[in-house]
Amino acid sequence: MNWRIALSDIDFDIEESKAVQDVLNSRWLSMGEATKQFEADFAAYTGAKHAIAVTNATAALHLACVVSGLQKGDEVILPSLTFVATANAVRYTGATPVFADIESMQSLNISPTSIAKHLTKKTRAIMVVHYAGFPCDMPAIMQFAREHKLIVIEDAAHSAGAWLEDRHLGTWGDIGCFSFFSNKNMTTGEGGMLVTNDDALAEQLRLLRSHGMTSLSWDRHKGHAQTYDVIALGYNYRIDEIRSAIGCAQLKKLDRNNARRKELTILYRELLAELVPSISVPFAEAAGVPAYHIFPILIPKRGEIDPIMLPVDNYRQLFMDGMKTHGIQTSFHYPPIHHFNLYKEQEPHKKVDLPITEEVCAQEVTLPLYSTMTKENVRFVVDAASNVLEKMR
């Protein structure tokens, strides 16, 4: 589909091309100087003691769960309003994801009150997701975790360049996991990063990223080692040099691009308030410095504009189809995980009671947002949204 305005876009130029060419010229393609540099740059940027680059955030989340010692019989509290990888990572270890509700129609992040409600004797960890790069209530969540001796893993897939109280998101808990998938604020195509301040966890993460081997091909190439032992059941979750080099180039643009996303978000808010006040926009009062990864809106409640009360899915679909006729790509973040068949089968008799998640999911639509978007693009999207809702009446 040739969109007039796509949901997201990348900001690549000569810097990324040069970074790739330099790696190709070096004739070393995996786990070398570029990856070392990317990890050093990311650690310096976030203030984390350790940064460990991996092949994607799903691998990062899985490793975080493994080094946290999660296993069958353990429970991990996390939101259902997230990408399925967050919960899948827990299940890879045999542990059980337990879904907590979000805070409100304004803050789509996990609610500390709901976390407390889901605590059992089996709870071992909390996994938070900073939705769209807006900070969760980390002071409250960390205090609760400390009181109950729980591990905190941050799914910071949306949060590169986001801060709360001068601490980068992902560095509040024990381990933070970032995504550099192609629609993210900084991208390497596929890619991920773990951050931690714990030396022992970092050592484990490095080991498990590469088969549990005590040395890398790079060490042997450099003459630092001639052989290796395998001391843990690891994985191949390595990133390659090409993507690490792109990551270094993208990191340099992150602050500038997030500032642009903020500017466009403010414009969206102003125009929507003026022209389509029936649409509400979450995170009006966000704390800290968000990453503005996506722009979620809540379309008016079913029945408020459509007198025939369409079923929920048709209703949202009607809006998204309407936007498509204007050449605008929209999305939905997220179909809640507990609605998926795979997750319904996990505990078929258990009723998952997440009223705010359900309500948000019936109304949420994500509008285009990316740093190279123009202000005219934003106006065009808002005009189209107004037009589509008018036609739905």
Ligand X SMILES: Cc1ncc(COP(=O)(O)O)c(C=O)c1O
Active site residues: 184
| Least distance CB 29 / ligand X (angstroms) | 20
Q: Segment 171-200, which members bind ligand X (CB under 6 A)?
A: 179, 181, 192
- Residue 135 as a binder of ligand X (CB under 6 A): the answer is no
- Rounded Cα distance between 68 and 152, Å, is 9
Candidates 5-13, 83-91, 139-147, 278-286 — which segment interacts with ligand X by CB under 6 A? 83-91
CA 390 to chain centre: 33
Binding mask 41-60 for ligand X (x = CB under 6 A): ---------------xxx--
Cβ proximity to ligand X: between 177 and 388 the closer is 177
Cβ proximity to ligand X: between 61 and 389 the closer is 61
Question: Which helix or strand (DSSP H or E) is residue 164 part of?
Answer: strand 163-164
Sheet holding 123-129, edge to edge: 50-54, 192-196, 175-179, 151-155, 123-129, 75-79, 96-100
Q: Are 389 and 299 in contact (CB under 8 A)?
A: yes
In this structure, what are the phi and psi dihedrals at residue 91, rounded to the nearest 5 degrees?
A: -70, -30
Q: Are 330 and 75 in contact (CB under 8 A)?
A: no
Cβ proximity to ligand X: between 125 and 388 the closer is 125
- Residue 129 as a binder of ligand X (CB under 6 A): the answer is yes
Cβ proximity to ligand X: between 82 and 111 the closer is 82
Candidates 6-14, 79-87, 101-109, 339-347 — which segment interacts with ligand X by CB under 6 A? 79-87
- Residue 82 as a binder of ligand X (CB under 6 A): the answer is yes
Q: Segment 199-228, which members bind ligand X (CB under 6 A)?
A: none
- Relative orientation angle of helices 14-26 and 241-275, to the nearest 10 degrees: 160
Strand-pair partners of 126: 77, 152
- Residue 244 as a binder of ligand X (CB under 6 A): the answer is no
Query: Under 8 Å CB-to-CB from 366, ≥6 apart: which residues?
Result: 7, 294, 295, 296, 297, 330, 331, 332, 333
Binding residues for ligand X, rule: CB under 6 A, are 56-58, 82-83, 85-86, 129, 155, 157-158, 179, 181, 192
